[in-house]
Amino acid sequence: MDKMWAGRFQKALDSRADDFNSSIRFDSRMYRQDICGSMAHAAMLGAQGIISQADAAEIIDALAGILHDLERGALAFDMASEDIHMFVEAELTRRIGDVGKRLHTARSRNDQVALDIRLYLRDETTALIVQLGTLLSALADKAEAHKAAIMPGYTHLQRAQPITFGHHLMAYAMMFTRDIGRMKDALRRMNESPLGCCALAGTTYDTDRMATARALDFDGITLNSLDGVADRDFGVELLSAYALTMTHLSRFSEEIVLWASWEFKFIELDDAYSTGSSIMPQKKNPDMAELVRGKTGRVYGDLMALLTVLKGLPLAYNKDMQEDKEALFDAIDTLKMCLNVFTPMVATMQVLEDNMRRAASNGFINATDCADYLVKKGMPFRSAYKITGELVAECIEKRTTLEKLPLEAYRAHSGLFDGDLYEDIRLEACVAKRISAGGTGIASVEKQIAFVRAFVEKM
């Protein structure tokens, strides 16, 4: 097949260089966006009188036929084509002859690919947002079911204070709401059409860029033609949002791995989301969570790859920018794949409330409440903190807990201690007393769940 740019050259491209230069292997996934962009462009050319209305209509009809044939499998991609743009144009010309050659009037592959990638990212990110909404709903359901389940809260992976499992799940839900917000922000900023910027300087034809922008649901147009073809900030922004989402999935996965271990045994993963060992028949491995944790590094790498590609590029378009797609496509595929498995894994996991409550009974995680008891009786917090620390040390020496230490032992440290202490340091009471906004108290957790459900409803 002759190259579209063959007129300038005396010699055919070396087959190795041709293969190296080609992007059809990966950019063919943008066929729908490429064809829809071309249909909008053809309609504008006809409306502006740049080509005849009859030619525009014939081009649009043929493009619709190509799209239909691709989607039903009646047309295969020609891997000898340089890219998706050249494939579509060649197929169009094959079907309607010279009329098809008019399509590329007042357009360059530079603004065409900039358009395609924006359209593709808009579609795929919108789908990812829907997936994150499904995960949020699963978290809200699970949190609702276990909003009163006592578990140890940790700092430094040391037992710190009692919380509820519902509260813990809502912490991750808040992360995912921010991830959705970041993706939506990035989509809003990128929703400007570069079509009509041409190679870099615009065109001598009397085009209507706003018409194509409206036809493709953009909010407006890129205001500088150099920036329009050279900008990939939106890709970096979205990759950053994808990477941070993977960070949150990875942190959650790490906790699931810990919780599923015999050392914790806070949860039991469903058999459908676990694997076994080739030689150890007793094993039940949290491989899905581990893979999510591992795949996070891939998305980080995709972000760094695009940043590195862009860092030294002069304006406007450079072939280096072809490298944006594989990084973006890989990140989208990876995040989509992780969410497809992660959401049902969380939805189906069994929460072992008794084990959580048992773990919370050890580690003196009600020590702060013991100190607060003295503060409410009038003692300065630092003095109360010191006395409680001494009581913990005494419990460790006597191999007992604060709940089981006799009242006379408390009174030996301060006469402010009385019989009501034991109710005050009971774990359920410790949780119930956390009445501050955003805390682990059940009423607060219920408000968090309601917020998440409302957030999903408004998405």
**Is 168 part of the annotated catalytic residue set?**
no
Using alpha carbons, list the distances in angstroms from residue 41 to 36, 67, 320: 9, 16, 26
From the candidates 156, 167, 168, 274, give the one annotated as an active-site residue. 156
**Is 444 part of the annotated catalytic residue set?**
no
CA angle centred on 444, ends 443 and 446, rounded to 5°: 65
CA angle centred on 334, ends 249 and 192, rounded to 5°: 100
- Decide: 63 and 125 in contact? Cβ < 8 Å: no
End-to-end Cα distance, the chain: 47
From the candidates 52, 261, 277, 383, give the one annotated as an active-site residue. 277
- Our CA dihedral for 158, 163, 167, 168, rounded to 10 degrees, sits at 20
Query: Which positions are catalytic?
Result: 156, 277
